[in-house]
């Protein structure tokens, strides 16, 4: 039981980070039909920006805000300079383009901050734990869960009630009609990328905490979050969050319980497990958990 | 003055050269390809062999992504399957002329198993499922270290015949041959073999593009619903594309294994390799046979140039050489995607039109 609580807590913390990443993907995909492969690198950038911001002496909450803003502005710049000229081109052109934009961001990180891993600053002791049901749970994991929950609530409130959220929903439904109704689609897209960048920085901050370190390879976690995006359905923010949490939990539980069962084959099996789940899931529901079924028969 | 006679019938369109200039160019290219290994040094031959491998690999991706429009990021997985077939078979003493097609067949078997996913999934979904394929294949390769060498890697012996016993009469392929006083080294032999495979692949690609199967693929790429209405079977076309493409990719993987002589799983067989192949076909010109040759040539030849350029630039010179070339390539691909969607093929078309219309500007 203690083990299970322990595993569940770290699984949910990982899942919360996946949910933040997946939400960033979905926000951008809904707005501009771009699947942003550079998202992982934005996340790594956010983590480094966080380290740098607290390095110059900003208090923790302010540093987090500054890192989120910096990453958001970077994302906005990427959209404006590189992706805007490609509106209307085939999907896969933007896919390839964002992969290479990711490489550019990664090189920028290496140029600015170098390749040495470093610790993520936290307002509490990095290894501090809290006792829940007899299990020792890292404070960082709880913070990740709480932070992710706050960000998700803020995002959903924004989408539901704010004028900007309405504009974003309109632009994602039909850009031309939105333009005809006087919605500044270009600016809305830019702001969507800003929000996605901020979510990435938040995910990066929590991901860089204690068991892990801040390094450029944090970007690869975005690859692990892909299954969450697809299982949730590319268009569905709620699906992204639910699938993110589930996959984080599943991955940690698989590492603890499935890996040993498989003997030698089980070594690192939890890294591919989400992909196997995704493939099986997609065979039966190609449009994801909450995605809309496209009616098309060929 | 247009020097290409109008293709009046189908046989005309299929001719290997359309006019005088194409024929001269072709003869020149063949002569150059034969003379090259005699004069080239060791490094130039290695680069040439890598280029030939890349041409075969890029042709494979061109069939799937360029002709059929299925975005696959799993190309590295098919290459890995071909390469490891060659390595494991070589350890068992099988000859290379059996293992190169065998690598293709193993990769094609997996490709045919993945193909049906393309019937249910489109675009991005397929791209990400194929990323999963890389992870799965690499995981399996690493999980059986007794057979594949695992993380430590595996040597790739290249046998000329079935080597059943130690010290048999059959010499390994890597030995130098003496032919009438001329020494033919391993690299030269590899070059000759690879040039033939690459030539066959490119001719096959060109004929595929002109055949009904090839046109069916392009119809599916452009609009699968319209293609279905016209009587093309999209399901069969997509699965054919997956099968053919993964077979050729497996062959390229086996070629790569023999060229490297020692294999590890990661690197080289990771997402970056798939992305590099996609960069090649974009650089060359997506959906064209020209692009399947020009892209890999530009990629392999430009890499050392990019590294040399990177050393000269401030700031960038602090990075490692592979990071420098990745960075400069990323910039190049981004510029091409934004400004010249047809890649080098587009550039070539523009140059050709300029001279055809000379002295007029269009």
Of A96, A227, A279, the CB nearest to B282: A96
Query: How do residues A244-258 score in pLDDT, each as one tens digit?
Result: 888 888 888 888 887
Helix (H, G, I), strand (E, B) or coil at A297: coil
Do the chains contact at A279 and B132, CB–CB below 8 Å?
yes
Tell me B146's DSSP state: H
> Does residue B350 carry a pLDDT above 90?
no
Q: Which residue, among B263, B95, B258, has the nearest Cα to B191 in the 3D structure?
A: B258
pLDDT band at B1 (very low <50, low <70, confident <90, very high): very low
Q: Which of B143, B225, B331 is facing A265, going by the closest CB pair?
A: B143
B218 touches chain A (CB under 8 A): no
End-to-end CA distance of chain B: 12
Tokens of A200: 């990435």
Chain B 102-161, residues with CB within 8 Å of chain A CB atoms = 117, 120-121, 123-125, 127-129, 131-132, 135-136, 139, 142-145
Measured over the CA atoms of residue B17, residue B19, residue B25 and residue B30, the dihedral's sign is positive
How far is residue B301's CA from residue B284's CA, in Å, rounded to a whole number? 13
Q: Is the pLDDT of residue B201 over 90?
A: yes
Structure tokens at B13: 């369109």
Q: Closest chain A residue to B286 measured between Cα atoms? A: A93
Spatial distance between the Cα atoms of A80 and A74, rounded to a whole number of angstroms: 10
* Six token digits for residue A259: 């890996």
Q: How many CB atoms lie within 10 A of CB B332?
A: 18
| Nearest chain B CA: its distance from A81 CA (Å) | 11
Using CA atoms, how far residue B215 sits from B5, B16, B68, B78, in Å, is 23, 18, 9, 24
Residue of chain B minimizing CA distance to A297: B225
Q: What is the pLDDT of residue A294?
A: 58
d(CA B91, CA B69): 37
Average pLDDT score over residue span B93-102 = 85
Query: Which of A95, A110, A278 has its CB closest to that of B132?
Result: A278
- Taking one residue from A and the other from B, the number of pairs with CB-CB distance under 8 angstroms is 112
- pLDDT computed for residue B151 by the predictor: 78
Please state whether beta strands B182-184 and B177-179 pair in parallel, antiparallel, or not at all (unpaired).
Answer: antiparallel
How many other CB atoms are found less than 10 A from the CB of residue A114? 12
B132 contacts on A by Cβ (under 8 Å): 227, 272, 275-276, 278-279
Q: Over chain B, what is the mean pLDDT? A: 82
The confidence score (pLDDT) of residue B180 equals 60
What pLDDT, on the 0 to 100 scale, is given for residue B177?
Answer: 66
For residue B178, what pLDDT is reported?
A: 64
Confidence of residue B282 (pLDDT cuts 50, 70, 90): confident
- Measured in angstroms, the CA of B208 and the nearest CA of chain A are apart by 23
Buried b (16+ CB within 10 A) or exposed e, B20-51: eeeeeeeeeeeeebeeebeebeeeebebbbbb
Q: Are B228 and A100 inside 8 Å of each other by CB? A: no
What mean pLDDT is predicted for residues B98-102? 89
Q: Which distant-in-sequence residues (6+ apart) come within 8 Å of B146 by Cβ?
A: none
Residue recorded with tokens 């078979």 = B89
Q: What is the mean pLDDT of residues B207-219?
A: 90
Residue ranges of B 48-67 with Cβ closer than 8 A to chain A: 65
Residues of A in Cβ contact (< 8 Å) with B333 = 96-97, 100
DSSP E strand stretches across chain A: 129-132, 135-138
Q: Tell me, yes or no, if A111 comes closer than 8 A to chain B by beta carbon.
A: yes
For residue A287, what is the nearest residue in chain B, using CA coordinates?
Answer: B121
User: Measured between alpha carbons, how far is residue B286 from residues B225, B245, B267, B280, B340 in Å?
Assistant: 22, 15, 26, 9, 11
Residue in A with minimal Cα distance to B327: A104
Q: With cut-offs at 50, 70 and 90, classify the pLDDT of residue B183.
A: low
% chain B with pLDDT above 70: 89
pLDDT for the residue numbered A198: 92
**Residue/partner pairs of A266-273 with CB below 8 Å, 24 or more apart:** A267/B142, A267/B143, A268/B139, A268/B142, A269/B139, A271/A224, A271/B135, A271/B139, A272/B132, A272/B135, A272/B136, A272/B139
pLDDT of B65-83, one tens digit each?
889 888 888 899 999 999 9
What is the predicted pLDDT for the residue at B169? 46
Write the Ramachandran bin of A140: left for phi over 0, alpha for psi from -120 to 50, otherwise beta. alpha
Residue A226 forms contact with B (CB below 8 Å): yes
- What pLDDT is stored for residue B102 in this prediction? 92
Residue range B323-348, pLDDT digits in tens:
777 777 788 888 888 888 888 888 88
All residue ranges of chain A with pLDDT < 50 are: 297-298
């Amino acid at each position: 039981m203690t083990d299970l609580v322990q595993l569940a807590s770290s699984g949910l913390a990982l899942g919360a980070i996946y949910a933040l990443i997946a939400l960033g993907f979905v926000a951008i995909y809904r707005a501009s039909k771009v699947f942003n492969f550079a998202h992982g690198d934005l996340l790594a950038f956010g983590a480094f920006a966080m380290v740098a911001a607290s390095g110059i002496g900003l208090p923790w909450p302010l540093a987090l805000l500054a890192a989120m803003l910096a990453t958001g502005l970077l994302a906005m710049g990427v959209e404006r300079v590189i992706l805007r000229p490609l509106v209307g081109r085939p999907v896969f052109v933007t896919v390839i383009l964002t992969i290479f934009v990711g490489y550019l961001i990664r090189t920028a990180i290496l140029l600015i901050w170098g390749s040495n891993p470093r610790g993520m600053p936290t307002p509490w002791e990095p290894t501090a734990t809290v006792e829940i049901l007899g299990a020792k749970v890292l404070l960082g994991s709880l913070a990740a869960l709480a932070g992710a929950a706050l960000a998700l609530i803020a995002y959903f409130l924004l989408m539901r009630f704010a004028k900007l959220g309405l504009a974003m929903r309109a632009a994602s439904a039909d850009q031309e009609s939105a333009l005809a109704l006087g919605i500044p689609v270009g600016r809305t897209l830019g702001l969507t990328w800003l929000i996605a960048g901020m979510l990435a920085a938040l995910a990066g901050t929590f991901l860089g905490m204690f068991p892990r370190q801040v390094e450029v390879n944090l970007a690869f976690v975005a690859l692990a979050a892909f299954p969450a995006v697809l299982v949730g359905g590319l268009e569905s923010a709620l699906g992204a969050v639910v699938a993110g949490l589930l996959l984080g939990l599943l991955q940690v539980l698989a590492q603890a319980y499935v890996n040993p069962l498989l003997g030698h084959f089980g070594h690192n099996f939890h890294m591919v497990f989400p992909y196997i789940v995704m493939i099986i899931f997609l065979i039966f529901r190609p449009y994801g958990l909450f995605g809309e079924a496209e009616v098309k028969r060929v | 003055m247009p020097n290409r006679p109008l293709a009046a019938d189908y046989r005309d369109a299929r001719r290997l050269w359309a006019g005088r200039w194409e024929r001269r160019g072709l003869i020149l290219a063949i002569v150059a390809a034969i003379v090259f290994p005699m004069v080239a040094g060791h490094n130039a031959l290695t680069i040439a062999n890598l280029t030939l491998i890349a041409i075969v690999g890029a042709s494979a991706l061109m069939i799937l992504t360029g002709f059929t429009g299925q975005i696959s990021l799993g190309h590295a997985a098919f290459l890995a399957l071909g390469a490891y077939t060659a390595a494991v078979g070589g350890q068992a003493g099988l000859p290379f002329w059996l293992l190169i097609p065998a690598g293709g067949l193993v990769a094609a078997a997996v490709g045919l198993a993945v193909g049906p996913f393309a019937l249910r999934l489109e675009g991005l979904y397929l791209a990400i499922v194929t990323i999963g394929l890389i992870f799965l294949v690499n995981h399996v390769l690493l999980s059986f270290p007794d057979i594949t060498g695992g993380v430590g890697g595996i040597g790739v012996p290249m046998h000329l015949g079935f080597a059943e016993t130690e010290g048999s009469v059959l010499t390994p392929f890597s030995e130098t041959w003496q032919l009438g006083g001329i020494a033919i080294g391993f690299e030269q032999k590899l070059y000759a073999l690879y040039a033939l495979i690459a030539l066959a692949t490119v001719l096959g690609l060109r004929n595929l593009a002109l055949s009904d199967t090839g046109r069916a693929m392009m119809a599916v790429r452009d609009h699968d619903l319209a293609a279905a209405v016209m009587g093309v079977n999209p399901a069969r076309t997509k699965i054919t594309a997956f099968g053919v493409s993964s077979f050729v990719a497996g062959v390229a993987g086996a070629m790569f294994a023999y060229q490297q002589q020692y294999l590890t799983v990661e690197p080289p067989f990771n997402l970056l390799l798939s992305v590099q192949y996609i960069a090649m076909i974009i650089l060359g010109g997506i959906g064209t046979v020209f692009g399947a040759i020009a892209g890999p040539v530009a990629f392999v030849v430009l890499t050392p140039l990019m590294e040399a350029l990177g050393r000269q630039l401030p700031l960038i010179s602090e990075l490692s050489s592979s990071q420098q070339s990745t960075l400069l390539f990323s910039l190049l691909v981004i510029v091409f995607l934004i400004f010249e969607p047809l890649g080098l093929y587009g550039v070539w078309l523009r140059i050709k039109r300029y001279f055809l219309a000379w002295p007029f500007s269009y």
